[in-house]
Chain A
Amino acid sequence: MLQAQQQAQTTDIESRPAGTVAGRLLRAVRSGGSNSTLLRQIALVSLLLAAIFPLFGGSFFTRLAIEALLFGCIALSVDILLGYAGLLSLGQAAYFGLAAYVAALMYLHVTQSFWLVLLTASASVGVFSFLLGAVAIRAKGVYFALITFGVAEILSKITHNTRAIGGSDGLIGIPVPSIRLLPGLEIEFANNYVFYYLVLGTVCLLYLGTRRILNTAFGSVLRAIRDNSDRVPYLGYNPFWYKLLAYVMAAQIAAFGGLIYPLLRGFVAPHLFGFEVSTKAVVMSLVGGVGTLIGPLMGSVIITFLESVVGSYTERHLILLGIIFIVFVMFLPDGLCGLAQRTFGAGRKVKP
């Protein structure tokens, strides 16, 4: 799925006489916000659709959309790693689950203050992702995928085996809280519409923030590392710190989804760390388009809704998911965003 982008990059280099890494870096930095207009249009249309969705959705679909956005956070974090740093994580659910458990335990035993919960969950994920990232990103290619898979598996086992935090049953009874924005101004999560717009707004901010950061020189170096990591150190950049920063950032985004999940569904279970959740996030970014940032969020909405609708007619959802995997890997490696680009944007390139 990276092939399309890499080809695009190759043409870039070839079109420049001085086709060196330095040249590519320079070009990437200069083109700054090189998101094509098309991607921006896709993002705008999606946001518009998302904004009016609850008017038609009813409470179930509005809540399902919240869940899709939360799982979309994992997909977004997979995309940051895969699309920009070239790292396939098969364990991004670890951070979703970790944040969900920290939030659930805080609400049940420590505090009802949303901000305190947010801080604790974010800090725990921050520390954990820093330590794990420092180890994992030194492994190359598939070994990174295997390490992330292993860690998520171990976390899932530990929560499953530890009866003090609910064991295999997980924890129920997490209250539906409210956030005190300012003294006297409270937001109630109990109202699905308020909840939805709050999550939509935050996910938009996360998306815009991520795009902003990845369009700076930081993102350019990251991509240069992805494409040619052996030569970047000679240019004075240490790939380690760039990758680590991307890894920690990605973990924080997945953690946001996890932190909100117990507030939506009222419980946590070891399944939230599961391989199914991690791999589904990978399909979501595949479907939307790896390296587009908006694609994975769309992919999450599509997959979540598809599963929910199809689920009423058949229990063969694994076949469905498998076919989606195969079709996108083999025939649409640049996802729906790539398809849109080829259909509508003749001549324009979708670039990360």
Chain B
Amino acid sequence: MEDLLAYLHFVVLPQFIDALIIGVALALVALGLTMIFGLLDVINLAHGELYMLGGYAAFTLLGWGAGYWSALVLVPVLVGLVGWALEELGIRPLLPRADRAIVTLLFTFGVSLIFRDIAQVIWGTETRSVAAPLTGIANLAQVFVPIYRIFVFGAGVLAIAVTWWLVYRTQIGAVLRATAVDPSMVASFGIPIRLVYGFTFLYGCGLAGLAGVLLSPIYAVFPTMGHDFLVMAFAVVIVGGMGSIIGAVVAALLLAQVQGLASLWIPPVWAETLVYGVMLLVLVIRPAGLFNRLGEA
């Protein structure tokens, strides 16, 4: 019995807490992805590269002498604007097409390739790093957690809460949700749909940028970082239900736990494969994911 408690306390609990923090980080990346899909039917394959841009923007700003905290505010705005420009220039002309889900997916894939290569031209191939603004380790009942990770967790939860509040408790959110269900009805009220779409991209990509700044001190910055993250973010969005905000959060926490806890007992590479297995299982059993998409309460 004592052994079991010790095992739970010293092996399983730390694993659980670490995975919880990873889950929140993952949710942050997945949130923008799922919002954009929910409103525009667009699978943004360049989302990982916007996350990468966030990391590089933070690296550059800090190199110019800006502080971490000002980068934390500035970078999401910058990346959001890049996302907005993408929507304005590339996505919007494609939306009237009947097969818009497919063509926008292909378009954003092209964008992702270009961004990844441009990053290599501008910032080179070496790994870059951003120093964490907070150091030290907290000892929570013999479970050690770095202070910065606790901060990332808090900031992530806050960003998720703000997003939830924005979508479900404000006027803007009501418009967003209505647009997800029936854009033409919203337009008939005289609300400019293009602004709604532009805002969604700005906000969703801004979240990717925020994730880029928050995670760069932990995960480092390099050209393929977004590509690596995107597959996992996809699994989250699929399991949670494409377009569902709550689904993305729940699925991110769930999949991070699956991978974290499974790697206690099976070889880690198979734990990673297991995550894709869960994704596939959900796709097969409930293709639309565990939760309903935006607007369909």
Contact = CB atoms under 8 A, between A and B. Distances in A.
State if A and B touch, Cβ cutoff 8 Å.
yes
Interface of A: 1-3, 6, 82, 86, 88, 135, 138-143, 145-147, 149-151, 153-154, 157-158, 160-161, 279, 282, 286, 316, 318-319, 321-326, 329-330, 333
A323 B283 CA distance: 32
B242 A157 contact: no
A3 B99 contact: yes
Contact of A157 (B103, B117, B238, B269): B269
A6 B270 contact: no
B280 A3 contact: no
Contacts of B277: 154
Contacts of A160: 269
B24 interface: no
B122 to A, nearest CB: 12
Contacts of B99: 1-3, 86
A140 B242 CA distance: 13
A275 to B, nearest CB: 8
B116 A318 contact: yes
Nearest to A282: B106
A316 B242 CA distance: 33
B111 interface: yes
Given A150-B283, A161-B269, A326-B90, A333 B103 contact: yes
B27 to A, nearest CB: 19
Contact of B242 (A3, A82, A142): A142
A329 B107 contact: yes
Given A146-B238, A147-B284, A157-B273, A6 B98 contact: yes
Contacts of A326: 90, 107, 110-111, 114
Contacts of A157: 269, 272-273, 276
B102 A316 contact: no
Given A143-B283, A145-B105, A319-B118, A153 B93 contact: no
Q: Which of B41, B97, B103, B121 has the most CB of A within 10 A?
A: B103
B43 interface: yes
Contacts of B106: 282, 286, 325, 329
B112 interface: yes
A149 B283 CA distance: 11
Closest CB pairs A-B (n = 8): A325-B110, A322-B113, A322-B114, A318-B117, A326-B110, A139-B287, A322-B110, A318-B113
B153 interface: no
Contact of A139 (B103, B110, B273, B283): B283
A161 B270 contact: yes
B82 interface: no
Contact of B287 (A140, A279, A321): A140
Interface string B162-196: 00000000000000000000000000000000000
A161 to B, nearest CB: 5
B283 A322 contact: no
Contacts of B287: 138-140, 143, 147
A174 B231 CA distance: 32
A339 B188 CA distance: 38
Contact of B93 (A2, A316, A330): A330
Contacts of A2: 98-99, 102
A112 to B, nearest CB: 33
